[in-house]
Structure 1
Amino acid sequence: MSLKHNSTAIMIAAGWLACTHAWATSVSVVGLFKDKAIVTIDGSKPRTLSVGQTYQGVKLVAADSGSASFEVDGKRRTLTMGQSFAGGAATGERQSVSLTADARGHFAAAGSLNGYPVTFMVDTGATAIAISAAEASRIGLDYKAGQAIGVGTAAGVVPAWRVKFNTVKVGSITLNQVDGMVVESGLNVPLLGMSFLNRMEMRREGETMTLIQRY
């Protein structure tokens, strides 16, 4: 694993809720390759599909480094990296927030962790919300009570801790009990990773990204 100066892909070995439905209600793309795609289905653990393979009612029809095409319930959908779609009828009012890319193409999101204001950077390569130890101390998080692990960075292996945030808020969207990680050093900006984004429908139109709460 590595932590880069800005957008950081932090890969966390985390268990995700298994889907209990016979057919998928949501699909998110978290990795793209020639003839393969890494997806999360109904918030489950990321799974690699090859072209022609079907899992939980989702068939990968085509894939390359730019996009992937799926067939679900007889309908074809094409997604790029970080995008998702939800099938079936939506129930209840869903909260949403729209973000605008900066000059470098990054999406910043104003929000809060456990009630403390935080500005995140959206990172679909991070499988959980990640913050620095300094940020954790600022918001009063007893992160060293979490599971201690080591994370590889450009400067070598540094200590890190698995944590769970009581509340995570971005715009009008609030989630409870969200998995995260605190990294001792090498992380300059809080990352809004897939432990939050897995529960969103992500729509990208030009310089605008819209996050819509799914559950």
Structure 2
Amino acid sequence: MSNSDPTAKLGKYFIWLAWIVVLALLVFFFQSALEQQINPNSRPQYSLNAQGNAEVILQQNRQGHYVSSGTIHEVPVTFLLDTGATQVSIPAHIADQLHLTTSGQGIANTANGQVRIYHTRIDQLSIGNIYLYNVDAHINPGMKSDEILLGMSALKRVEFSQTGKQLILRERN
């Protein structure tokens, strides 16, 4: 069989096509697995406890952080829970998508030094079946992440406890 045989050339093209399809499927499969490691709470577990209060159970991610999907103004977002942050801190590019308005500016001390921030208020924020209203927040133009830091201006409104690699958030009465 010579290289000029059209059937042989067609066979080579199909082999290349098969490898491309296999590689695409592997990328699709492993991308999903990696996303699950980064945010194991893309669909947080939630329920009502014995007192009828909303309760959400979050799993630690591979790095030991609590990352969860949620909403702001009913728009899906990703939260990184940060008990060391005083306020909910929203990257400016996400604040633009959420159409948040500012009500002044200030300076915040962060792990990376001082940054200029803009004050805002979130009308509605949710994780699972826990809803918080009128939450103080700030917009941080220096943040390049696609995650919103869920700081104590929101977390002080819920009870939370950690057991092993789980964080349980409970609605306060």
Q: Same fold (TM over 0.5)?
A: yes
Query: Residues 167-186 of structure 1: matches in 2 within 5 Å?
Result: 167-186=124-143
Counterparts of 2:127 and 2:60 in 1: how far apart (Å)?
16
Counterparts of 2:80 and 2:127 in 1: how far apart (Å)?
11
Contact persistence 2:55–2:171 (CA under 8 A): yes
Identify which range, 158-167 or 181-190, moves more after superposition. Answer: 181-190
Counterparts of 1:93 and 1:190 in 2: how far apart (Å)?
28
Q: 1:201 aligns with which of 140, 146, 159?
A: 159
Higher strand share: 1
Counterparts of 1:96 and 1:132 in 2: how far apart (Å)?
27
Structure 1 runs not aligned, ≥5 long:
1-89
- Residue 142 of structure 1 deviates from its aligned partner by 2.1
Contact persistence 1:153–1:186 (CA under 8 A): no
TM-score, with structure 1 as normaliser: 0.53
- Residue 176 of structure 1 deviates from its aligned partner by 0.7
Does structure 1 residue 211 correspond to structure 2 residue 152?
Answer: no
Counterparts of 2:80 and 2:169 in 1: how far apart (Å)?
13
Counterparts of 2:157 and 2:110 in 1: how far apart (Å)?
28
Partner of 1:141: 100
Helix, strand or coil at the partner of 1:124: coil
Contact persistence 1:129–1:190 (CA under 8 A): yes
1:116 partner letter: V
Does structure 1 residue 190 correspond to structure 2 residue 153?
Answer: no
1:179 partner letter: D
Higher helix share: 2
- Residue 92 of structure 1 deviates from its aligned partner by 5.6
- Residue 132 of structure 1 deviates from its aligned partner by 0.8
Counterparts of 2:65 and 2:100 in 1: how far apart (Å)?
27
CA deviations 1:87-121 (Å, max 9, x no partner) are: xxx99621111100011100011111112111100
Larger Rg, first or second structure (1 or 2): 2
Number of residue pairs aligned between Structure 1 and Structure 2: 124
**1:207/1:134 CA distance change after superposition, 3 Å:** same
**1:153/1:176 CA distance change after superposition, 3 Å:** closer
Structure 2 runs not aligned, ≥5 long:
1-48
TM-score, with structure 2 as normaliser: 0.65
Query: Residues 1-215 of structure 1: matches in 2 within 5 Å?
Result: 93-143=52-102, 146-152=103-109, 157-188=114-145, 189-215=147-173
Counterparts of 2:112 and 2:86 in 1: how far apart (Å)?
21
